[in-house]
Structure 1
């Protein structure tokens, strides 16, 4: 039975599993598992451009793994919005936070936040990424962090102060 999104509960769970496989592949440096998350012809689109094909996906992840935040980095996904685009296709919007374990401690802190807008396809009974788009969190609001005034408070802060609530 399809839900209001046009996807069956099984499809939704399988798509969520795709994201789990993707995170584990990235965070455990498993190049083969990373490549397997994409369907043939799939693309990864980020601020550097488009990446397509098995060898290019391996090179992209290898470059990502060279980031100084490894080892000790983990990706967390939340707030899935999924909509069927056909019997074997869907669009997904997902928030992502990348956490980093601070060296020589047991503490972690977020080092990146953003969101994905992905097109996924079901091929041979398995969901994979057709178009994976990686966005910085600030893109939701349109202002890059280096252009935000440091003393600027979001509009809701004034409303909270009006009601006697202080954030300090």
Structure 2
């Protein structure tokens, strides 16, 4: 039997509270989100134990010189009974206290493990890997900064989120915490991006039907699982720091026939909204899916570069 789908939303609310407490420098709220023996590992901040330790690491002096805005995309939630795991991409913007353009933008991958204690979800493990920075890096002089746009070499730091070890898809083979049909479809994109960006092509393989096809700009039309996976594996090699932030804009599911279509907007963190605040997307995907053995998989994937807005979008 599956637990109420509201559990998924409660877990995502814990993630939202984490980001809000971090961005507003609320130490008390941060401490309350964690178990007493929680473990925190960050590529930028180092390691800490317990809520107080996490708060001390996240709320450093750099945040006093700029306001921090945080957003999350690419959500996946899984779990069984009183334990759960969630992953997301987050992007942050440090802006001057008086407003104006962002002084520094960064992107990260986050994985949370949670426990249900006295009716509340508490974070027992938090892994945060900052993948890239763009802008005035002096704002975060206290961070261990990513290597930037170059190849890794001996002596460089290694990531603290490694898909083969930390992937939430591997944590709970028998999951009882699931979302709605539309949320399950949206999670296919999250897994697609995770597999591509974290170079775990076993995950990417699980997203596609054997007879899938697609238009993968700038590569072109690809047909068949082998062609898709092998091309994308080679294509991403020069950009190991890349993140495909995506927001599902429209999902239409035919549950009776087990088919669906999904439009996903690709978020470019450096330009995620228009001046008036309307969301802006640097490209969009059109995806078609089929349900097989209770798993949604892609039959067609189309990538369309170009800036768009989507006023009628739905999460």
Same fold (TM over 0.5): yes
In the other structure, the counterpart of 2:118 is 124
TM-score scaled to structure 1, two decimals? 0.72
Q: Which residue of 1 aligns with 2:251?
A: none
Structure 2, unaligned runs of 5 or more = 133-145, 152-215, 221-303, 307-315
**Corresponding residue number in structure 2 for 1:147:** 150
Alpha carbons 1:69, 1:100 under 8 Å: kept:
no
Distance 1:68 1:37 in 2: 20
1:14-163 correspondence runs (5 A): 14-47=10-43, 48-63=45-60, 66-67=61-62, 70-84=65-79, 86-102=80-96, 104-108=98-102, 111-137=105-131, 144-148=147-151, 159=219
Q: Tell me which residue corresponds to 1:152.
A: none
Counterparts of 2:106 and 2:48 in 1: how far apart (Å)? 21
Report the CA distance shift for 1:24/1:10 in structure 2 as closer, same or farther (over 3 A). Answer: same
TM-score using structure 2 length: 0.41
Tell me which stretches of 4 or more aligned residues in structure 1 moved more than 4 Å.
102-105
RMSD of aligned C-alpha atoms? 2.9
Distance 1:70 1:9 in 2: 40
Matched-pair contact (CA < 8 Å) for 2:40–2:49: yes
Structure 1: runs of 5 or more not aligned? 149-155
